[in-house]
Structure 1
């Protein structure tokens, strides 16, 4: 189960603890923290919405209706007070939502650079994908590239440990982890465009963003990895569909 699917299921049901969810929580501290935050928020909401009904509710409603029909005097009815209480509950709920660290739930803001998004994605998923070796064949890589209007023109020259689709900022991306010269390298192919090639070094990692038509190819490896050379090798074998 990838990070996006895990978070979607926890947000829809914070109390779900299927075998897949439990495994994902055990495998990643970030997943465990996310599940705890979701449960805490769910408990706050339940507490805020727990409004006790007065025992004399029926009598008070009947009294208000009678008073209005006999004297045509406008009084604040219990229903109006209940609506006011509900509005207060909604306001409290809004405050609770404001206190949640949504940075762990939402993708980075739209103005974040492609490099920033890539680095955060690699850091967040490193504990999970670091233990996987799917030995992915080139045919499967081409199939995963199809939604981005690209395919492999020949055999992929590196051992691929992991391959999937993922959320990438406001777009989707192909997410691949393969063996570089010094260590594992993460590749993203996304429909988020870029105008020019960009090299970057952040948090002990080196990366490059390469424009590829209306898409972008992003590589992130350990600092010292020659990602520019790897990007050149890969860019030569990735072809547009048409």
Structure 2
């Protein structure tokens, strides 16, 4: 069956084969319905997990015999790293996070952040890589990850910074909203093409082209 990105907690993962990576999307926790993404290099088998959000009993079996080299935590909010300690203990994976959020992640999980990243840094997935884009506002150290498929379009993992229908929550903080909408508009929509497929931290996927016409509307409504 073709990949849709429509997953629900307790349901089966959805799997997408790109030219260099396999993307396995799974939803965890019926209350929060977080998305977790296992990225597998099709050349080397090396694997990276984006957000060990919850349910290690769901996440660890996805690894198969490939192990796990890295866990990327997209931001410091509690619902995105509840399984981090268990996943790292089981795999020995390196932990990557945005530098401004790293201390909070360690305080909340007890897991040291091995590598603090920012704009332009890269995360290796075997023979390919993910490019880091820092997008502040939802949290100070939120990061997005881009895989530039050489045989297709870009694939963007947005955490809670961008969703179909709007940017992430800023909890009534006007300055944080302006920071987030500015970063999303300039760093994501301003640099990536409309056919970029994005994978958010909750809910269904979308493309930048589908969302671009609504940017002014989002800015005007203030959330």
User: Structure 2-normalised TM-score?
Assistant: 0.26
**Greater strand share, structure number:** 2
TM-score after normalising by structure 1:
0.25
If you compute each CA radius of gyration, which structure gives the higher value, 1 or 2? 1
Answer 1 or 2: which has greater helix percent.
1
